[in-house]
Every structure is written in structure tokens, then in C-alpha cells.
Structure 1
């Protein structure tokens, strides 16, 4: 049998192990870590893994189809690539690698405002199919300009991030002096020297930067002042007054990402938004919060007929996607899995990871006799975690 991926790395854990050896420690810890004591990071994973599915072995089965319609577009699988900040720091050119793989596999790619490729470049690669996630600017002028650029780039979906009213307290990043560029302490220099392939690729691709934000940065700005610029330029705290004018100006679909409660879901519906992504930022913001799968079931059951309910955070594999969709999600997104893949395998990492997860999900569907992804809830045994 010919597998559609590199059989040396048949799991996301294998990719994570390879990535850890291949990129500097400060970059890996930024990707891999949560906040505070990592309690919610681990809770995300353990709670999803408690979900059990029921197989129907003696039922008539004509095959399983992963194709999923979302906002009028039919995707080849019910998962996409979540927005990740500082992608080019973890592996040079990774946003472009993942965007290209997403296009080839016909799944959505979401570009973060604070990724290392521009809206225009990713739109070109994805032929206008990339979604864009907005960190809310403090100034209306800047907000309007970024949204106008996303519209001109034909982004079909605008994602509003609501779970970063403050930056998460992340001890590893503080110790590592993580910034753009990373602080060149003696320890960080040694880490770079220990990963020569990463260093060479970074040299060839050029120093990573926040490409979407370049037009708004002062000319010749010392990059050591970038943190202060970000704090002054963006306010992550959203409310109804900030969302309403965006809904008015944006003609495409709008999704609110970071929803973790029924109250915020109701507000999203009242504001006329098209979807929500139940998320806790990968466990990177509120260590004392719930895992994502806990509120998902109730939110999907209560509001799924009124707004499209999706989920990210804690999802790593095909079985995780199946568990999440059985609990009511209409679509799923993953960030770390794909970044492990591209950090481990470079330009082959996007294709490999998507192919691997598709294979895993197909196997689960065949095993439990689920013909369409909409049928996953029929196989749910338990929903309480």
C-alpha cells in the first residue's frame, strides 16, 4: 500500500518530536506552550480524549465522504488551518507553505494579523480563498484600512478574535525574551547554532516580520520597539460597539473566534454574525478556564440551528476531529499540528500533515460506519467531560 504521507512520521506526536529537534528551543516553546502552569493546555487534550464513539459494525455501508459545506463552499475535509502568530519564526516561510498546501487539499487557511506573511501574498497563493483573522486596532482608520485590504484580497471570511483582551502570561516566552526579532541572549544564540538548518533557511528567507502590519509601522523603526508599537496599535478587547460597525462594512461572512460561553454566543447571534469558533486560544490565555470541548456541546445543542458552530484548541488528529464533530461542531481548526508538521518537514510539512489527518479521519469514519461528517453525532456515546 502506498501511503499519502511520509511513513517515518505517521502521527502528529512524531512530527512534534522531530520539530523539537529541528528548531531553536525558544521557537519550539512558543509553539508548544500554554500560559501560567499549562493547566488548560493539558485539559484541552485530556477532555477531548474522554469522548467516546459508538461503531455500527453490521450496518450497510457504501463508503465515507469527508466533504463538508461551510458558508456556501464545499471543502474536501471538515478541518482547516487555524491562525497562528509568528509563524515564520518557528519555520521560515511557513505561512506560504501551509497556505499552498491548504489550496491543494481544498481546506481553509486562516491568516493571523500577526503572522509573518501579508494578506495580499496569502491571497495570491490561495487564489483568494484564505480567511483573515483580525486583531482589533485601537484606531478606526487602521481598522478600516486592514478590513479594506482583506476585502480587496477577496477573503471570503473575516475572523474577529475576542479572547485576547490581554496578552497571556507565558513564563517560557518571558524567560526566552521572545520578541520580533528574538532577543539575542547567549542562550538563544547557542540554540540557533544547534539548529543550523533553521538558521540557514532563516538567512535565505530573511528575518521574519509582521508583513501585514508593515505599512503602518514607522519607517526605520528599531524592531526592538515592536512590542511597544503592538501595544499602542491594537486593543484585543471586543464589545458590541466595536463589532457592529465591522458587521456593517464587511459584506462577506464574519466569524467570532474565542467564544467560550452561552452569553457570548447569544451576543454573536444578536449582532448578525455568521459563525463562532469555540476556542480558548490553544490554552494560551486563561489557565483557569474550561477546556473547549466542555462548552461546545451545550453551545452547539442550544444555538447550532441559529449560527454555525466550529471549534479549535486541543484538536490534534483525525480521531479528535471525529470526537469534536460528534459533540456538535460543524467544522474544526488546528494550529499546532500543522506547525509541528512544517517545522519538522519544511516545505513538505503542510501536505504531509493534511494527508495524515485526512487518512486518520477516513479510518474513523469507515470504522464506525459514518457515511457523512454530519452523521458523527449519531455515534456519540458520552458528551459529559
Structure 2
């Protein structure tokens, strides 16, 4: 595919500014915010950007190759689209837009259990190439049903989320009525009226809902009842006993997302999982935690080659992807960057953001004289 993007928006910051102009404030703050005082939200990117790369200008060089093999599939770039909840709230149809773009560009798209498109629809769009992230249900029957649906839709990778034992304390969402149970305030209604493009598209597309969870939800729930249902349905704390039956049931690859310690990485290896995503949920769960990039070194030192090691949280740009790879990760995921792209540019947002990131990453590879993705660690400055 030709790498082509909208030159009016050549950076993620441009997309972020445009997104803020186009969507209601409550939707933007849900996307953009962290938890508590946003300390870890800002540390994620700030500390990642302290990673420096060494260029070698006089070495022989050939065209860089961004292709990356992951779980038996060769992707065209070493980054993918991270799972994001309530995507349709931010822009109508955004999971479908991003899944389609990911499929066309041959990168992974990860669908969240609490996104606004179903397992089956995303599976169809991606011809069975999407990954699925499981929020652990409290009931084994619901868990097994969801896992079997993902298998039937040919998802190759199941991502187990381990960093949401409780919902994050997010002051913006509480003020905006997006905590559980959700509520629609007069202020939210006025914000919607001020964003007619978003409002019209939402009206056409329909009110966003937890599409994957629809078969398990009683009909006719109001917002308060919906909140109670979600709280009752999910039990986010994972342990060995809860992971083992999933490992037995799922025949594909399993990745543990939310790893921030050597101990959890050791457990993933012990349980026969295939990979981990070092992550702090984009700074949305524990404000007193380390940034993801700070959690990486001891995990990479002990488990590189034993587990596929990936990372998200704080990754915003092509140079950020390069920093993650240079730090020892096999792959990077971005969440907010893609949602800014869709909120800013609608149906073109997915293709634009992927193309821009590819262009940025290629420039870094050319600049430092790195011909393959696996060569990035040779360029890190300790």
C-alpha cells in the first residue's frame, strides 16, 4: 500500500487539536484524561522521550524494512492499534474504521470487550486477523461464551487484561457523568449541541453500546441499570486459577496485558502464555505507578526470548515506536493516537494515522541507519 497521509495534519498533536474541536468535551476528556492527578499519564510520554538513539551516518545502508513477525504472522509495521473502550462515543463507527484500516495496512487491531462493535463484526472486517482483549467476566459461563465467540470468528490472539482489578478513579469522567453508573447531564447535552457534526453522525450511526455484551444484557436497561449490570458482570482481578481455564479453552495465542512487574511476567511464563504487553493502561488506573518504559528494563533482561514482549502507554509517534523497540520490546501499541485520528478525520482517520506513523518511523530508521526493526537496540544510548 502506498504511504499517503493528509499533509494538513502531519503530527499526532495536530490530530489531537482537531479532535478537541470536533467532539463534545465529555468525549474528549474521556479519551485524553488519566486518573487522579494525571501524574502517570504525563510520565508515560515524558519518560519514554528520554530514551535517546545513536545514529551511524557513515555505515553502508539499504532501504529500511519495517516488517515484523509476531505469532507466526508477518506484519507490515512494528506497531498496532491498542484496545480502547467506548470507541463509538468518541467518534461514531470508530472501531470499524480502525479495524478496516489496520487490515488494509496489515497491522493488528485489538478489540476491547467494552468497545462499541461486536466480536463478529470486527472479525468479518479483518477476515479473522483482529485480536480480542478480554475483560474477565465474573461468571464462567459468560467468559466461556465470549472466548468461544472469538475463536469462532477466527481471532488468532486473545489478550487478557490484568490491570483493572477496580475501575480507575477519573475525576473528569465523574464530573462528566461517565463513571459507573453513567448519567447524561444538562452540561453534556449543551456540549453535544455545540458539536453538530459529531451529533449528526451519532444520530445516523445510532447510540453507542457495548455491542459484544448485548447477548448477556437484559433489554431496556436505563443508564443506572446499565452501570449496575457492568459492575456485576466484570471481575477484573486475574490470578492463576482464573487464567488456567482460559488457557485450556483457547487454542490460539494468549497475551497478558497490563504487566508492570517481573513477578507478573514470571507468572505469564509459568502459565504457558505466549506474550505480554507491558502497560499501565495509558495512565488511567494507578497514578502512583511507574511509567511503562520504566517498567521495561528488568522484564526485558529476564524474559526477552522467553516471551514476546510488547508495550503500550505513552506511545504517540513514529519516534516513540522506535524508542520502545530500542528499549527491547518486540512490538508497540498505540491507543489515543488512533482515536485522535478518527475523531479529527472520521473515515479517513485510520489510514491517515497509520500512514503518518509509518512515514515517521521510516525516517527514524533512515536517519540512524537501522535497516530492520530488530536492529533498534543497537542504537540505544544507555
**TM-score in terms of structure 1 length:** 0.98
TM-aligned CA deviation for residue 297 of structure 1: 2.0
Partner residue of 1:281? Answer: 281
The answer to whether the Cα contact below 8 Å between 2:3 and 2:358 also exists between their aligned partners in 1 is no
Alignment of 1:1-385 (within 5 A): 4-178=4-178, 183-382=183-382
Taking the aligned partners of 1:123 and 1:54, their CA distance within structure 2 comes to 41
The answer to whether the Cα contact below 8 Å between 1:137 and 1:234 also exists between their aligned partners in 2 is yes
The answer to whether the Cα contact below 8 Å between 1:181 and 1:208 also exists between their aligned partners in 2 is no
* Cα distance change, pair 100–172 in 1 and its aligned pair in 2 (3 A): same
TM-aligned CA deviation for residue 184 of structure 1: 2.5
Provide Cα deviations, 1:341-372, integer angstroms capped at 9, x if missing partner: 00000000000000000000000000000000
Taking the aligned partners of 2:4 and 2:127, their CA distance within structure 1 comes to 24
Taking the aligned partners of 1:125 and 1:238, their CA distance within structure 2 comes to 30
Taking the aligned partners of 1:281 and 1:227, their CA distance within structure 2 comes to 21
Taking the aligned partners of 1:181 and 1:206, their CA distance within structure 2 comes to 20
Q: Which has the larger displacement, 261-270 or 182-191?
A: 182-191
TM-aligned CA deviation for residue 221 of structure 1: 2.1
Give 3-state SS (helix, strand or coil) of 1:258's partner. Answer: strand
TM-aligned CA deviation for residue 298 of structure 1: 1.9
The answer to whether the Cα contact below 8 Å between 1:23 and 1:195 also exists between their aligned partners in 2 is yes
The answer to whether the Cα contact below 8 Å between 2:31 and 2:336 also exists between their aligned partners in 1 is yes
Provide Cα deviations, 1:152-178, integer angstroms capped at 9, x if missing partner: 000000000000000000000000001
* Cα distance change, pair 379–94 in 1 and its aligned pair in 2 (3 A): same
The answer to whether the Cα contact below 8 Å between 1:81 and 1:102 also exists between their aligned partners in 2 is yes
The answer to whether the Cα contact below 8 Å between 2:116 and 2:208 also exists between their aligned partners in 1 is yes
Provide Cα deviations, 1:183-218, integer angstroms capped at 9, x if missing partner: 331211111011000000000000000000000001
TM-aligned CA deviation for residue 222 of structure 1: 2.1
Taking the aligned partners of 2:124 and 2:223, their CA distance within structure 1 comes to 27
Structure 2 unaligned regions, length at least 5 = none
The answer to whether the Cα contact below 8 Å between 2:84 and 2:112 also exists between their aligned partners in 1 is yes
Taking the aligned partners of 1:155 and 1:238, their CA distance within structure 2 comes to 22
Structure 1 unaligned regions, length at least 5 = none
Q: How many residues align?
A: 381
Taking the aligned partners of 2:178 and 2:113, their CA distance within structure 1 comes to 18
Taking the aligned partners of 1:311 and 1:350, their CA distance within structure 2 comes to 20
Provide Cα deviations, 1:7-33, integer angstroms capped at 9, x if missing partner: 110000000000001000000000000
The answer to whether the Cα contact below 8 Å between 2:182 and 2:223 also exists between their aligned partners in 1 is no
The answer to whether the Cα contact below 8 Å between 2:182 and 2:227 also exists between their aligned partners in 1 is no
Give 3-state SS (helix, strand or coil) of 2:333's partner. Answer: strand
* Cα distance change, pair 272–3 in 1 and its aligned pair in 2 (3 A): closer
Provide Cα deviations, 1:245-264, integer angstroms capped at 9, x if missing partner: 11011000000000000000
Give 3-state SS (helix, strand or coil) of 1:310's partner. Answer: strand
Give 3-state SS (helix, strand or coil) of 1:63's partner. Answer: coil
Give 3-state SS (helix, strand or coil) of 1:160's partner. Answer: strand
The answer to whether the Cα contact below 8 Å between 1:277 and 1:310 also exists between their aligned partners in 2 is yes
Taking the aligned partners of 1:196 and 1:333, their CA distance within structure 2 comes to 32
Give 3-state SS (helix, strand or coil) of 2:137's partner. Answer: coil
